[in-house]
Amino acid sequence: MTFCPPAHPLTVLIVDDSAFMRASLKHIVGATPGYAVIGEAGDGRAAVEAIRRLRPDIVTLDIDMPVLDGIGVLKAIRPAAGVAPLVVMVSAFTTQGADLTLTALGLGAIDFVPKASEHFKTDLAQVGDLLRSKLATAAAVLTGRDRLPHPPASCTAPARSAAAHPAATHPATPPPAPRPAPARGPADIVVIASSTGGPQTLPEVLRPLCPCPAPVVVAQHIPAMFSRSLASSLAAALGVAVVEAEDGMVLAAGTVHILPGGCNGEIQRLRPGVFAIKLSEGGNAVHRPNADILFRSAALSARRPVAAILSGMGSDGTEGARALAQRGCAVLAQTPESAVIWGMPRAAIDAGVVAEVLDPADLGRRLAMLTGKAP
């Protein structure tokens, strides 16, 4: 996918304790139209000082660093959220690194790029491709272009000052009038789609919903290793059952099932009110797990499914939501001001398949009502 660069260069601070990696990232960013490296730092304390002094638009941040690690950097700059830059984590892709990266997302980082894993050494070409994609995501937030590719050929969207808060960049116009959902009995399954911003948003949605009287299945765009860490972190944060789904797993009420990264998941009806998950790694879907596949299977298999579309770029979930809406099933979407990226909710709203547009906590409460959860 080709992204239109921002009209004015966005400034980037490179933070990594490896001089080689700093030079490599500096080259990648410098060769990407629309971005300019404003500085670099080799440890966390120097990073905090550079962020406060240079006020970059974007920071690429390592986790494992001397003096102060990446988590410490995020905690140090978080109190000044109104002037904080957007942070993209660029870190080792290990089991421990996955847990720390999810912590970083909870502290305000918007996305992440693996620079190595437990199974392969650093691949700078892959790092470059991923980083350019994440820079485009950050640019979408900073310039208000929350659906990329979005601007016309002139690409004249103004660059946002780093002093503004990301939430202020979303469209000021209210969303389209919601599509009314018919009154029905309690939902028998809840399906949720999320991407960039999802790990930060899911706890807010799930807290008032869980434990849910119906099974909950989440398609979060995430690499394979991170899905298990995401399930563990959500379980610890919420105090409810959250598991990484397995092929053939019977879906349990009161449990949140996170689809594994890299796998698509389909709902299968075993008998009335009882469902299982079928996982597959094939298919041509850009995102795996794919929300359209999950939603369509819910529309085919469940009697009263309900769905929610959370923060993320693109339109995954819209076609699956259409299948649900055609059956009269409720589809909810996240509000623009509460989403890191409003692309996925907006695409579904524009398609006329959304019943209600709510902030995360209210969305969770509405899902709880739809499933018949006692107040």
Query: Catalytic site residues?
Result: 195, 221, 316
Q: What angle do CA 4, 142, 88 make, to 5 degrees?
A: 90
- Alpha carbons within 13 angstroms on the beta-carbon side of residue 285 total 25
Phi, psi of 194, rounded to the nearest 5 degrees: -155, 155
DSSP 90-122: EEEESHHHHHHHHHHHHTT--EEEEEEESSS--
Q: What angle do CA 60, 309, 164 make, to 5 degrees?
A: 40
Cα separation, 364 vs 369, whole angstroms: 9
Tokens 């394979």 correspond to what residue?
224
> Within 10 Å of residue 32's Cβ, how many Cβ atoms?
19
Distances (CA, A) of 22 to 41, 212, 372: 8, 46, 53
Structure tokens at 58: 């974007």
Report which of 298, 311, 321, 320 is spatially closest to residue 181, judged by C-alpha positions: 321
The helix, strand and coil proportions of the chain, stated in percent and rounded to the nearest 5, come to 35, 20, 40
Beta bridge partners of 190: 216, 306
Cα separation, 371 vs 364, whole angstroms: 11
